[in-house]
Amino acid sequence: MRDWFAATLAVVFMTAGASMASAQVADTVLFNGKVLTVDQQFSTRSAVAVREGRIMAVGSDADVRKLAGPSTRTIDLQGRTVIPGLIDSHLHATRAALSFSTEVNWIGAASLADALGRVREAASKVKPGAWLIVVTPPATLDTFRERRRPRQDELVAAAPNNPVYVQLAYGWAMLTPLAMKTLNINTDADLPKGNKLERDAAGKPTGAITGNLVEFFERLPKPTFNEQVAGTKLFFRELNRLGLTGVGDPGGNNVTPREYQALFKVWRDGQLTVRVAYSLCGMTDGSEFDEYRNYLAMMPQGFGDEMLHFNGIGERITWAMNGINGTPPEADKEKYYQIVRWAAERGLAVTMHWNSDDNVDHLLGIWERVNREFPIGSLRWTIAHLNDASPQTLQRMKTLGIGWTVQDARYNSGDEVLKTEEANDVMRQPPVVTGHKIGVVIGAGTDAHRVSTYNPFTVLQWLLDGKNAGGTVLRGPAEIPSRADALRFYTIGSAWPAHDDDVRGSLEVGKLADLAVLSKDFMTVPVSEVGGIESVLTMVGGKVVYGAGPYKELESGR
C-alpha cells in the first residue's frame, strides 16, 4: 500500500513539475551570437535566455529559443560576441563619479588639439567665470600625437573667460591666470606645504604647480549635490558603454562618508547601473582604528544588496603603512596589526595598497600572524598593485588564500624605466602568468581615474601586448596571458574579492544576467584593436542599461 501511494505521489509531483517547467518562459532571449560563458571550461555557446534578472539557459539557438513565449523579448546578436559583464576590481568609482558631470574628460582624446577642443566646447556651454577642471592620467599625453603637456596660453585660448585647471595624476597641474587669480596664488607661500610654482628662465610663473596636489585639489570648487548625483549616473553609464557592470571601489584620497551620499541616493532611487562593492579607508591619520570602530558598528561585511554592498576596509588601512617604502617602524606595524586582527575577528574583507616586493614581508608577516589567531582564508583579503611580486610572495599569498588585484601601472610608465638596472625586472611586471599558475586569484582593474584610464579594453589590450601608452613593449612574452585568462581576470577573477563569484562573473544558469555584447570579437580581433572595443548592448540583471547601433532603442528608459 505504501509503495503504491509513494508511486502515485511521485507521478503527481512529476506532472506538477513538468507543468511548472513549461510555464517558465524567458523574459529575454539573445541568439545567433558567440557567447563566451567564462565557465570552468571557457565554453562558447550561441544563445542565452534571461528570466527575472538571472541566466535561465545558455546553449544552442534551437534549444534556447524554445524558452521564448509571446511576451519574450528576442534579440538577434547578428554574430556578435557576448561576454560576462566586466568587473573592475580596483576603480575609485565613487570619487570619479562625483565630478563627472562638471569636469572636462580627456580620456579617449587622440591628440592635444582634440583635448583642447573639449575645453573649448565645455567653455561654450557654461557661464563666464565658471571653472573648467581636467584631471587625467599622465599617460593620456603619451597617447596624444603631440606627446606633450598643454601650455598656459593654449588653455587661455580655449577658454579665455573661464578659470581652467588641468591636473596630471597627483604631481603636476597647470592653471590659467584667471584660475590663479581666483585662488589668490602669487608665490609658493600661497600653496600647501610641498607644492611649488614652476617658473621659466626669467623667473616668471608658467602657471604650473608641482608637488603632491591632493591637498591643493581641495581648494577647487566642488560640484553641488545635484551635480554629484548627475555625475554618478553619467559616469556609470560611461562604464556601461565599455561593458562594465561592476566595480570594486577601494575608497582613496579625498573620500569621506560625505562623498558616498550621491552614490547612495542613486542606489536608493533604483537608478544604479553598475554593481558596487565598496571598502572604507582610514580617513584621519592616527585615528583610523577609532573611525573603523565607530563607522562600522552598524555595517557588517556584505551589508547592502546585489547592486551595492559594503566590502570591508582598505585600501589605506592606516596612513603610516600606506604605500610605504623600506622598513616600517614597529609601532606602526603593531597599530596596523591591531586593526586587521580586529577586522579578521569580525569577518571583514581587507584590501591593501602595497607597492613593492622588497618590503612585502612586513605586510605578509602581519597577515600570517593574524591568520594564526583568526583564519583569513575565507575572508577574501587582497593586495592591490604589487607589480613586482616574486614567485615566493605569490606562493605565500596562495597559502593564505589572499587574492591579487592587478592594475595597468606599467601601461602608464614611460620608456625611461627600461634604462634602469631593473629593466629585466620591469619586463616581468606584473607577473600574472606566474601568479595564475601558482593559483592566486587575480582580479583585473585600472586604479582609475586620477592615475589611469577607466577603459577596461585599454587594460585588456595592455595585458595582451605588454605595451605602455606610448607603444613601447614593457612586458616580456613569459608574462603575457592568454585571451581567455585575461578575460577571466576581468570577470570571475574580479567578482571573487567582492564575494560574488557564485552569482556573477560568468554566464551560467542561475547567475545574475550581467553581460555585454561587443562591437568586435575579443577572441579574434588583432590585439592592436582590442583597446578600441566597446559594448553595443550592456545588461545588468537582465535590464538593458546601455544600447548603441541596432540596440539603441532597447536601452531602458528610452
pLDDT tens digits for 305-333?
999 999 999 999 999 999 899 999 999 99
pLDDT at 227: 96
Q: Which residue has the cell 585599454?
A: 458
In angstroms, rounded to a whole number, what is the distance separating the alpha carbons of residues 555 and 550? Answer: 11
Burial of 226 (0-12, 13-18, 19+ CB in 10 A): exposed
pLDDT at 556: 65
Q: Compute the CA torsion angle 310, 314, 316, 320 (nearest 10 deg).
A: 120
Partners of 393 in beta bridges: none
Residue 101 has phi, psi (to 5 degrees) of -85, -10
Percent of the chain scored above 90 by pLDDT? 89
Confidence at 89, pLDDT banded by 50, 70, 90: very high
pTM, entire model? 0.92
pLDDT at 256: 86
Contacts of 152 by beta carbon, 8 Å cutoff, 6+ apart: 174, 175, 176, 177, 206, 207, 208
In angstroms, rounded to a whole number, what is the distance separating the alpha carbons of residues 281 and 284? Answer: 9
Residues 350/340, Cβ–Cβ less than 8 Å: yes
Confidence at 420, pLDDT banded by 50, 70, 90: confident
In angstroms, rounded to a whole number, what is the distance separating the alpha carbons of residues 163 and 185? Answer: 13
Task: Look over the chain and give the mean of its residue pLDDT values, rounded to a whole number.
Answer: 93
Q: What is the mean pLDDT of residues 537-544?
A: 98
Q: What is the mean pLDDT of residues 249-270?
A: 92
Domain ranges across the chain: 2-79, 103-217, 225-504+512-544
Q: Kindly give the residue spans of alpha helices, DSSP state H, lying in 194-352.
A: 214-217, 225-241, 261-268, 288-295, 330-345
Say if residue 530's pLDDT is above 80: yes
HSE toward the beta carbon, residue 76, CA cutoff 13 A: 3
Q: What is the mean pLDDT of residues 353-379?
A: 97
**CB-CB neighbours of 213 under 10 Å:** 23
CATH code that applies to domain 2-79: 2.30.40.10
**186-238: per-residue pLDDT in tens?**
999 999 999 999 999 999 999 999 999 989 998 999 999 999 999 999 999 99
In angstroms, rounded to a whole number, what is the distance separating the alpha carbons of residues 64 and 80? Answer: 17
pLDDT at 5: 39
Say if residue 399's pLDDT is above 90: yes
Say if residue 1's pLDDT is above 60: no
CATH code that applies to domain 225-504+512-544: 3.20.20.140
Q: At what angle do helices 261-268 and 225-241 cross, to 10 degrees?
A: 70
| H or E element at residue 21 | helix 2-23
Q: Kindly give the residue spans of alpha helices, DSSP state H, lying in 242-324.
A: 261-268, 288-295
Say if residue 450's pLDDT is above 90: no
pLDDT at 228: 97
